[in-house]
A = this chain, B = another copy of it.
Amino acid sequence: MDRSGQPWQTVRHRYVYRNPHRSFVVEGGRIQDGAETDYAYMEAPAAVLVVPLTGDGQLVLVRQFRIPVRDWVWEVPAGGVGDEAPEAAARRELAEEVGGTCAELQAVGWWYGLPSALTSQHHLYFASGVDLGESHQEPTELMEIARIPAEQALEWARNGEIRSAESAYALLRCEPLIRQHLRG
């Protein structure tokens, strides 16, 4: 396939729903061969995920009730980026969700949250020397906070106990940094 041109030409774009956190788009377009089709996807601001490691070698995870799946899911602290840099959002989410501050915050990388259905880029940060205080959760967050020994949390990422693919991946992406700190 020729990747030099634009493989998708938009001919229609409409919002079927909008709120400040996410919007639903139905877009009509033409693929290279001329066939026209509709593609439905979700639009949302960028997000940050934070893997927080305490000074005594524990990872701070959150267990959230997720309405779409009607289930409690272990995840890493995460949230949308507002009118701020991603790093500032990471510090804010760490403070708001788990009441944490950190000695050091390191940008690890970014990915698309779900490129088949979502516009957002998600940025990963590793926070070390984390101290926990009081959290200020938003009303739609049904959440518990837990400190999990790092080896156990990494094992949960590898064995599927963590049912959020993205959170499990975030932990595995930070594994070299976590091990470096555990050795330090």
Residues of A bordering B, CB below 8 Å:
1, 3, 7-8, 16-17, 19, 21-22, 24, 26-27, 29, 31-33, 35, 37-44, 64-73, 75, 109-119, 121-122, 139-140, 142-144, 158-160, 162-166, 168-170, 172-173
Contact = CB atoms under 8 A, between A and B. Distances in A.
Copies per complex of this chain? 2
Contacts of A38: 19
A122 B109 CA distance: 24
Given A24-B17, A24-B24, A169-B165, A37 B140 contact: yes
13 contacts: A17-B24, A19-B38, A29-B67, A31-B142, A39-B67, A44-B117, A68-B115, A69-B112, A109-B159, A111-B160, A111-B165, A165-B165, A166-B166
